[in-house]
Structure 1
Amino acid sequence: MSFFVQAETPEPLHPEQAGWSAPLGLAGVAGAWLLGNQADEGIYQYRVRLEPGARIPPHTHPDTRNSTVLKGTLWVGFGESFDEGALVAVPEGSLYLAPAGTPHFLWARDGAVEYQESGVGPSGTRVLQ
């Protein structure tokens, strides 16, 4: 569920007001739906915070997702197993695409990371490991 409510005047959407939780029960990972939800039809935005060293294992989504790194450097790799040699640095301010059905994995290798991903639902997440 999103905390976004359509208003007659612009209203800031503050991530601190969102319902943060640990997606997939992953240690060091917190996420919040800011707009929509992957289970619903339409555009969604999901904010993710990774503590230093936190990893997200290989997983896929049925839709293409684009992610913008807001803080830190996010290390991203494509493949069905977590391969440190396949990781690419996505620095603060940069964006990467995870094409639909492409296995990918993430690591906050150098410190805390915050990123926001968007896509079009309905969607989902399938962890491979």
Structure 2
Amino acid sequence: MSAAKWWWGFLLSIFALAFGMDNKPDRKIALARKLRKAMMVPEHLLWARLKERAGGVVFKRQQAIGPYVLDFFCHKAQLAVEVVGGLHDAERDAGRDAYFARLGIETYRISAAEVYRSADAVADGIRLRVAGILREDAKKPCW
């Protein structure tokens, strides 16, 4: 094993321990792949609209970050989009939100009922939120 590979592995291990992340990322990636194949109907409806990459904004679906798998994630805006059904635990969601806030990721929750009602309107709302975040970031000083 080369010294560079060893250091890279060492640094990733330290990062994982510091943030309490699962040190078996392969498990999370495998889970994310399974979830991509078994998406719920509201997630499918929303994905059909978000995958169009309107305005150059790219979303990933079932993105593994740390110990969690996000429904949708926009890296450019650091925005996590979660479709909330009836089984979400508010206390667990608060812990997830705090974890992502420490990483600089904003969580945007949408109820599955809203997606069923009007997936187009929900996708437009998400794109507006991304545009707002990107505008705010452009105004920040770069020092």
- Alignment TM-score, normalising by the size of structure 2: 0.27
Higher helix proportion (structure 1 or 2): 2
- Alignment TM-score, normalising by the size of structure 1: 0.29
Larger radius of gyration: 2
